A and B are shown apart, each in its own frame.
Chain A
């Protein structure tokens, strides 16, 4: 794979931006050109966050065209459904099986889609859906905030970048006190790309 387009989707506060920064650093360390762009709402917390990442020998636009995403990494289930239409027909969706209800759902104005609806929405874009329990596994590790490194572990499976490069970049970006637990989260995530997680 000499050219990979990634879309990372999530909710403000889940660590999407740090995750996408680390992907960029490992891509550069592995000798690729790289551009990324984040689309954030105006608030600090709680809004949709979407990050476009392009790895290739030469990148022009930081934004990915619709239908041109190789891998969608979704930190939240409904956000996966929202952005799945960006996938290539043979693209891969890695979805954290976790619900963060938006305010309109809390207020009873709108309804959070059922699991079947979410999967059906993603299925319209691709058959390769890995549904992983990232948040609960991160909580089991002892720190729910390690979700982002767990998700990177999952995506590392698909990128032509060695574990050593990933680990070096994580060591640079994460405080020493939480590096070990994040390393473990990365390893846990890596093991989640397996057939029994395919939906």
Chain B
């Protein structure tokens, strides 16, 4: 049956058909949809773990127990999961364990651009790389088979362009289970130095076995064309190269680690010029050079950023590999940009507008100097990172998941000449903020910690987490009480405020900033995107409005300025659930329409 599937949908379906019994993940663009789609199958167990490390450990435990398991994360999730990941290479597996790791070339929605293939070599764990949805569907079964044949976890590496593109998939498999028995085996599963030391040579023997397997592995395919140019490529870069060099010979690698030395060497011998086309790091290039084979790669194509047919063609033309491209049209200049925004009715807007005003980041009709701000605001990863942009300008630091509290502690330890505020979302707090809070209590920190609790993982599309008490499959489960968790860790000053009550947020934040102890404020309000029933859009009473600009400082896209008239777009306004603009208007000019 032919179906139009996104790469992530195809990966999920492939995993289901390959007999996955347990899957675990923490949401992260571009990987999120994989577990969401898999969660629709109620005959298997899928869970959002509190973070990727736990997801990896769940996958590992399930594999040891004897069922095929799947672990899903974005590239930076593997940083978090790297400890059990590295160890998993030594214990190996029982039933198949596949990790899907989604890289984000071009950093569409990530803080860093990482090439997961480096982790694979580091850990000596094989990597398959599909180049469209059909391969995404097919490769998962190969990954499980390799995992069980070679006693190793296997990574299926995808990228944003593969995960989020849709293409035709011939869905031709049915689900088959491959369960095994659990057997006690301390010398395999207990990484005491003595046992682990004994398994070290096995890691290398496994890589050697995989290298040999790669020579005839059917996912590594040669297509002979012209012998002038031979191209080695993988993933979506292969699809681009195929368009730019339609006549070239190709070695398309479905497994990008470990590499088939003889196959590559024979291919190289058969062509006049060997070129590697790969997104991100020169991973294939360096490994092939180590085989003593001469080639071109990153001297022609970039290391940074996402590839496209244009990137390949322009650089190939520059290197004289293809004819020059005549670009007839240029982009229009001077058009206003359309950056992402906090949504109308966002429960984060009120808190940020207050931090912005207390921290002298914005003032109506005036330019402000950030250097006069008495606050340093250490932020975190989520929708609320958008609070960085003007007019709110209410975030100064944002490093990685959970780093808000740790970086704030560092600011404090360094005696920075500002009041220190950390801002983190609920899902991120459960992910890795909690460990920062433990240190904050232990350091006897005086900071103000704001937890923006919208009761979901909003940025990635509203996934559940320990604080919601609902599983990935939609079942009611047990809930971690945010307040109990915070109080239990030793915080004495905890306030919970309504995200849409501007006056209370303001007085609570002021009190916390003046306090000489650790204060935690939970700002709680539902994500506006989840609330479908809207009523009571606000409107501007033009006679009362003196165009002071206070409402515009909220950065709400429903509030628009038309000449010198401010108006509210009734189709965008969240209405009764929000009313923040009504609360900040000093002249009472915003009211129910």
Q: Do A and B come from one complex?
A: yes
**Provided the pairs A35-B165, A45-B557 are in contact, do residues A24 and B330 lie with their beta carbons within 8 angstroms?**
no
The answer on a CB contact under 8 Å between A107 and B391 is: yes
The answer on a CB contact under 8 Å between B332 and A36 is: no
**Provided the pairs A24-B4, A63-B309, A108-B561 are in contact, do residues A45 and B338 lie with their beta carbons within 8 angstroms?**
no
Number of interface residues of A (CB under 8 A): 56
Which B residues are in CB contact (< 8 Å) with A25? 4
Which of chain A's residues has its CB closest to B307's CB? A63
* Contact for A47 among B332, B341, B461, B560, CB less than 8 A: B341
**A102 on the interface (CB 8 Å rule)?**
yes
The answer on a CB contact under 8 Å between A35 and B132 is: yes
- Interface residues of B, dominant DSSP: loop
Chain B 423-458, CB-CB to A under 8 Å as 1, else 0, gives: 000000000000000000000000000000000001
CA A66 – CA B328 in complex, angstroms? 9
The answer on a CB contact under 8 Å between B557 and A104 is: no
Which B residues are in CB contact (< 8 Å) with A75? none
Which A residues are in CB contact (< 8 Å) with B334? 113
**What are 7 A-B contacts defined by CB distance under 8 Å?**
A35-B165, A41-B340, A45-B529, A46-B341, A63-B161, A63-B308, A102-B337
**A33 on the interface (CB 8 Å rule)?**
yes
**A103 on the interface (CB 8 Å rule)?**
yes
Chain B 318-361, CB-CB to A under 8 Å as 1, else 0, gives: 00000000011111101111111111100000000000000000
CA A111 – CA B501 in complex, angstroms? 33
Of B217-225, B239-247, B265-273, B294-302, the segment with at least 4 beta carbons within 8 Å of chain A is B239-247
The answer on a CB contact under 8 Å between A37 and B336 is: no
The answer on a CB contact under 8 Å between B329 and A62 is: no
The answer on a CB contact under 8 Å between A35 and B332 is: no
CB-based closest 3 A-B pairs: A43-B340, A85-B329, A110-B336
Which of chain A's residues has its CB closest to B29's CB? A42
The answer on a CB contact under 8 Å between B108 and A42 is: yes
CA A34 – CA B509 in complex, angstroms? 53
The answer on a CB contact under 8 Å between B335 and A66 is: no
Which B residues are in CB contact (< 8 Å) with A36? 165-167
**Provided the pairs A101-B560, A102-B338 are in contact, do residues A39 and B331 lie with their beta carbons within 8 angstroms?**
no
The answer on a CB contact under 8 Å between B167 and A62 is: yes
The answer on a CB contact under 8 Å between A104 and B4 is: no
The answer on a CB contact under 8 Å between B338 and A121 is: no
**Provided the pairs A61-B243, A67-B329, A85-B331 are in contact, do residues A46 and B167 lie with their beta carbons within 8 angstroms?**
no
**Provided the pairs A37-B161, A41-B340, A45-B343 are in contact, do residues A81 and B335 lie with their beta carbons within 8 angstroms?**
yes
Which A residues are in CB contact (< 8 Å) with B75? none
B569 CB to nearest A CB, Å: 9
Which of chain A's residues has its CB closest to B329's CB? A85
**A127 on the interface (CB 8 Å rule)?**
no
**Provided the pairs A61-B240, A65-B313, A84-B329 are in contact, do residues A44 and B2 lie with their beta carbons within 8 angstroms?**
no
**A15 on the interface (CB 8 Å rule)?**
no
Could you list 15 further interchain pairs (A-B, Cβ under 8 angstroms) beyond the known A43-B386, A89-B328, A102-B557? A28-B168, A42-B109, A42-B340, A44-B383, A45-B344, A46-B557, A60-B239, A62-B161, A67-B329, A81-B332, A82-B331, A82-B332, A85-B331, A107-B390, A107-B561
**A11 on the interface (CB 8 Å rule)?**
yes
Which A residues are in CB contact (< 8 Å) with B342? 43
The answer on a CB contact under 8 Å between A111 and B336 is: yes
Q: Which residues of B are in contact with A by a Cβ distance under 8 Å?
A: 2, 4, 29, 108-109, 132, 161, 164-168, 236, 239-240, 242-243, 308-310, 313, 327-332, 334-344, 383, 386, 390-391, 458-459, 461, 529, 552, 555, 557, 559-561, 571
CA A86 – CA B330 in complex, angstroms? 9
**Provided the pairs A44-B343, A65-B313, A103-B341 are in contact, do residues A82 and B4 lie with their beta carbons within 8 angstroms?**
no
Q: Which residues of A are in contact with B by a Cβ distance under 8 Å?
A: 11-12, 21, 24-25, 28, 33-48, 59-67, 78-79, 81-82, 84-87, 89, 101-108, 110-113, 121, 124-125, 144
Which of chain B's residues has its CB closest to A45's CB? B343
**Provided the pairs A81-B332, A82-B332, A108-B561 are in contact, do residues A59 and B339 lie with their beta carbons within 8 angstroms?**
no
A68 CB to nearest B CB, Å: 8
The answer on a CB contact under 8 Å between A144 and B329 is: no
Which B residues are in CB contact (< 8 Å) with A37? 161, 164-166
CA A124 – CA B329 in complex, angstroms? 7
The answer on a CB contact under 8 Å between A60 and B243 is: yes
The answer on a CB contact under 8 Å between A46 and B243 is: no
The answer on a CB contact under 8 Å between B343 and A102 is: no
Which A residues are in CB contact (< 8 Å) with B330? 85
CA A41 – CA B313 in complex, angstroms? 25
CA A169 – CA B101 in complex, angstroms? 33
CA A110 – CA B529 in complex, angstroms? 27
The answer on a CB contact under 8 Å between B459 and A66 is: no
Which A residues are in CB contact (< 8 Å) with B310? 63, 65-66
Which A residues are in CB contact (< 8 Å) with B109? 42
B272 CB to nearest A CB, Å: 24
**Provided the pairs A66-B310, A125-B329 are in contact, do residues A78 and B165 lie with their beta carbons within 8 angstroms?**
no
A113 CB to nearest B CB, Å: 6
Which A residues are in CB contact (< 8 Å) with B341? 43, 45-47, 103
The answer on a CB contact under 8 Å between B336 and A112 is: yes
Which of chain B's residues has its CB closest to A104's CB? B336
The answer on a CB contact under 8 Å between A105 and B332 is: no
Which A residues are in CB contact (< 8 Å) with B313? 65
* Contact for B336 among A28, A61, A102, A144, CB less than 8 A: A102
CA A85 – CA B184 in complex, angstroms? 64
Which B residues are in CB contact (< 8 Å) with A108? 561
The answer on a CB contact under 8 Å between B561 and A106 is: yes
B273 CB to nearest A CB, Å: 21
The answer on a CB contact under 8 Å between B327 and A34 is: no
**Provided the pairs A35-B167, A63-B240 are in contact, do residues A47 and B335 lie with their beta carbons within 8 angstroms?**
no
CA A66 – CA B239 in complex, angstroms? 16
Which A residues are in CB contact (< 8 Å) with B336? 78, 101-102, 104-105, 110-113
Which A residues are in CB contact (< 8 Å) with B459? 42
The answer on a CB contact under 8 Å between A104 and B337 is: yes
The answer on a CB contact under 8 Å between B340 and A46 is: yes
**Provided the pairs A41-B340, A42-B340 are in contact, do residues A67 and B168 lie with their beta carbons within 8 angstroms?**
no
